Amino acid sequence: MDLGLGGRGFLLTGASRGLGLATARALVDDGARVLISSRSPESVDAAVTSLGGAPSASGVTADLADPDAAETLVAEAGERLGQVDGVLVSVGGPAPGTVLSTAEDAWRAGVESVLLGPLRLVRALVPHLQEGAAIAFVLSISVKQPIGHLAISNGLRPGLAMTAKALADELGPRGIRVVGLLPGTIATDRIAEIEAASGDAAAMRARTEAGIPLRRVGRPEEFGRIAAFALSPAASYLTGTMIAVDGGMTRGL
């Protein structure tokens, strides 16, 4: 299928590794140009190099929890991409912990990074988007069911998902689409860190895979292909929906 991505420009946050980088690679492989951002300049530089560098890929250092990051990203996107045809909004996962054990400061930090940071970016970017543009939020299956020891994610991701639904209503008349992507357990560095912290990574992986109908965790490129499609003109009638990329892990509809 021709996704119609050739020559189009996309901004991707949190994209120096993991799901964001996998999406950037899928977009570039199909002819798009990308501007990726992350908090670490070294990670950004390495990711841009892995994507082939200019003119297909460029990068900028930014932390969405910083109130000034949104305007910086929008300005850089305009300069490097010209027209922005879509954005993948991804942020690092908030601190783990249970509802009762998680400190209030961690909740506040989660609100800044998971909720307010993405909203600031979208508000700054929307005036520059044209008909046919797409916004994709990287969320989590915690939108549909709680994940153990990830209380902040369980609390905030569903709120951002409903905000994405509301944005789809607001931006639909302008021909701008909004979707949410709900990854399950994908083999990223963050998942490896969580497994290692359990004390027995192999046992935790085995328990996880036993609860997935496909009996394996996902690969980053599998998520990247779905995200690239959702952002592409080929998905032109897809908006206001949450797309689970989880191997069947989510039990609810």
Q: Would you write out the chain's pLDDT as a tens digit for each of its 253 residues?
A: 899 999 999 999 999 999 999 999 999 999 999 999 999 999 999 999 999 999 999 999 999 989 999 999 999 999 999 999 999 999 888 888 999 999 999 999 999 999 999 999 999 999 999 999 999 999 999 999 998 889 999 999 999 999 999 999 999 999 999 999 999 999 988 888 888 888 899 999 999 999 999 999 999 999 999 999 999 999 999 999 999 999 999 988 8
Query: Which pLDDT score is estimated for 252?
Result: 85
Model pLDDT for residues 143-173, shown as the tens digit of each residue: 999 988 899 999 999 999 999 999 999 999 9
Q: Letter for the amino acid at 194?
A: I
- Quote the CA–CA distance of 239 and 168 in Å, as a whole number: 6
Cα distances from 107 to residues 39, 95, 172, 241, in angstroms, run 20, 8, 32, 27
Q: Which residues are bridge partners to 6 per DSSP?
A: none
Query: Residue 159 CA to chain centroid, in angstroms?
Result: 15
As a whole number of angstroms, the distance between CA 160 and CA 180 comes to 9
Mapping DSSP to helix (H, G, I), strand (E, B) and coil, where does residue 137 land?
strand
Tokens of 128: 């520059």
Element (H, E) at 208: helix 201-210
Omega of the bond leading into 67 within 30 degrees of 0 (cis): no
β-strands 177-183, 134-138 pairing: parallel
pLDDT tens-place string over residues 50-78: 999 999 999 999 999 899 999 999 999 99
- Residue 12 amino acid letter: L
Q: What is the DSSP letter of 91?
A: -
What's the rounded Cα separation, in Å, for the pair 115 and 163?
A: 9
